[in-house]
Amino acid sequence: MYYFYRRRPILEQIQIWLSNIGIQEDLSSILSQVFVLLLLLVGSWVLLLLVQQLVKRGLKNWIEKTDTIWDDIFYRNHFFNRLINLIPLILVYFTASWFPDLADWVERISLALIVMITTRSLEAAPTAINDIYDDYEVAKSRPIQGYMQVGKIILWFFAIILIISAILRSSPLLLLGGLGAFSAVLLLVFRDTLLGLFASVQFATNDMVRIGDWIEMDQYHADGEVFDITVNTVKVSNWDKTISTIPTHALMENSFKNWRGMELSSDRRIKRALYMHLNSVRFCDQPLLDRLIRIKNVEGYLHHKENESCGEVGSNPTDLVDIIACHSPTNLGAFRSYVIGYLQAHPKINQEMEILVRLLEPTPNGLPLEIYAFCIEKQWEIFEEIQAEIFDHLLAILPEFNLAAYQNPSGVDIRSLQRSNIAP
């Protein structure tokens, strides 16, 4: 402390010593002030290290003893540690008058650094608030990380204004007034941020995307679970363990699929088609009828079709069309009846939801027989296993109805055809 009260004589002594070794008076005055300033900075740095150790030990022990976790979260985000860094800067700012030739720039730079360190400390507060908010259940449906990032951007915007005004020794209001000329540049630079901000507001208002939602977006090869939503990006952990980063505003500009409705419901939809070979579809002949009549799910269908068709044309049909009408049951119709009965008896199919087996428009790849039902298991692995078992069974039983699934000819088929043509 003696030095602080006797600073002038020490400065003068250093200046005299520098003059004696041949340095000019003006330069020696500046060098002496620089030397003392460096000593002050080193002393302030040592003081900072001591205070940090005391605060880390004392404050950490006190925080761990408290019941609330809020102070723990603020401490973990370095809120208090960053505030401690203000000590040497404040000390230098209030001792700037000790250095007459350097006082102006010492005050400017130290004040600018005080603003920057204070901003960094306050920047940790929104992060801590977001961490506290994440502990509540509402955070899953109403994340606030985007708003916290917007708050950080606004905080740094005003901090930069204050830093520039501190260095230039001008009023912050004058700098703010001059920003009108750079508004177009600012809009261009912060275009994605502004678009992301508006998109974040739309997400929160309309509850479009939440953390934990399963979304699909083909434009960005995204198919997985959302694990992070910020102002600028939405990160998706895909099922193949890759990560897709989607601009937040892109979710507003493009379409995407959100599977949350399925996950919240009690069922998961099965919608898949079997492609029938058109040449295998025909009226049931007597041997086929005799075989199908023994199948429980088909018996009722065959009796119904027989009574319906033969009742209309009489008991002794003579015309070819009437004869065909009496044999109107088709193997495909019988198979559709079997599939409906099979799904209605399946323990993993919700019987209170729609169960449809319908024919779609024929395609070059065959006749689609679409199955539309709801599985009571939503977990992906179990759902896929049940769906696979259903279609395994249906594909395996197709030959019993003299039906065949369509498949494009392969090299094996061509070679088999060639061998059959060559054989005598």
**Residues 120-132 pLDDT 10s:** 888 888 878 777 7
Q: What angle do CA 218, 392, 406 make, to 5 degrees?
A: 75
Residue 170 and residue 152 share a domain: yes
- State which H helix or E strand residue 189 sits in: helix 183-189
Residue 179 and residue 78 share a domain: yes
In a domain, 70, yes or no: yes
Average pLDDT of span 245-251: 84
Tokens 């603020």, located at residue: 74
DSSP letter, residue 238: E
Confidence of residue 357 (pLDDT cuts 50, 70, 90): very high
Confidence of residue 300 (pLDDT cuts 50, 70, 90): confident
369 has a pLDDT exceeding 90 = yes
Strand intervals (E) in 61-160: none
Q: Residue 261: helix, strand or coil by DSSP?
A: helix
Q: What domain count does the chain have? A: 3
- State which H helix or E strand residue 95 sits in: none
CA distance 187 to 184: 5
Angle formed by the axes of helices 331-345 and 380-397, to 10°?
150
pLDDT of residue 373: 92
* Best-predicted range by mean pLDDT (245-254, 275-284, 290-299): 275-284
179 has a pLDDT exceeding 70 = no
Bigger pLDDT: 394 vs 161: 394
Name the token pair of 183. 């508004």
Tokens 């199955």, located at residue: 371
Work out the percent of the chain whose per-residue pLDDT is above 70: 70
3 has a pLDDT exceeding 50 = no
Confidence of residue 183 (pLDDT cuts 50, 70, 90): low
- State which H helix or E strand residue 136 sits in: none
Average pLDDT of span 250-271: 81
Cβ atoms of 408 and 277 within 8 Å: the answer is: no
Average pLDDT of span 328-353: 89
CB-count burial class (<10 Å; 0-12, 13-18, 19+) for 337:
buried
In a domain, 195, yes or no: no
pLDDT of residue 81: 74
pLDDT tens for each residue of 51-63: 777 776 666 666 6
Those residues whose C-beta lies under 8 Å from the C-beta of residue 358, and which sit 6 or more positions away, are 369, 370, 372
* Final residue of a structural domain among 129, 161, 189: 189
185 has a pLDDT exceeding 70 = no
Judged by average pLDDT, the poorest of 288-292, 306-310, 349-353 is 306-310
Confidence of residue 93 (pLDDT cuts 50, 70, 90): confident
Judged by average pLDDT, the poorest of 4-13, 36-45, 104-113, 233-242 is 4-13
Give the CATH number of the domain where residue 244 resides: 2.30.30.60
pLDDT of residue 290: 82
Bigger pLDDT: 253 vs 186: 253
- Cα dihedral 375, 376, 380, 383 in deg (nearest 10): -50
Confidence of residue 5 (pLDDT cuts 50, 70, 90): very low
**CA separation (Å) from 374 to 213, 356, 392?**
21, 10, 17
**CA separation (Å) from 143 to 66, 79, 129, 246, 259?**
27, 22, 12, 17, 18
pLDDT of residue 15: 55
CA distance 119 to 151: 12
Residue 159 and residue 41 share a domain: yes
Residue 305 and residue 260 share a domain: no
Residue 208 and residue 306 share a domain: no
Name the token pair of 411. 């090299």
* Final residue of a structural domain among 155, 189, 223: 189
Residue 212 and residue 181 share a domain: no
Cβ atoms of 234 and 220 within 8 Å: the answer is: no
Residue 239 and residue 291 share a domain: no
CB-count burial class (<10 Å; 0-12, 13-18, 19+) for 46:
exposed
Confidence of residue 352 (pLDDT cuts 50, 70, 90): confident
Residue 172 and residue 27 share a domain: yes
pLDDT of residue 2: 42
In a domain, 421, yes or no: no
Average pLDDT of span 186-190: 66
Residue 168 and residue 116 share a domain: yes
Bigger pLDDT: 346 vs 192: 346
Residue 148 and residue 6 share a domain: yes
pLDDT of residue 129: 79
Q: For strands 268-276 and 233-238, give the pairing.
A: unpaired
CA distance 164 to 174: 11
In a domain, 414, yes or no: no
CA distance 31 to 119: 33
Residue 252 and residue 156 share a domain: no
Residue 284 and residue 403 share a domain: yes
Judged by average pLDDT, the poorest of 43-47, 66-70, 110-114, 211-215 is 66-70
Give the CATH number of the domain where residue 362 resides: 3.30.70.100
Bigger pLDDT: 405 vs 28: 405
Q: What angle do CA 416, 419, 424 make, to 5 degrees?
A: 140
Name the token pair of 61. 């022990």
In a domain, 424, yes or no: no
Average pLDDT of span 35-46: 72
Those residues whose C-beta lies under 8 Å from the C-beta of residue 102, and which sit 6 or more positions away, are 30, 33, 34, 37, 96
188 has a pLDDT exceeding 50 = yes
Cβ atoms of 234 and 226 within 8 Å: the answer is: yes
Range of the domain at 339: 268-408
In a domain, 361, yes or no: yes
Cα Rg, the chain, nearest whole Å: 40
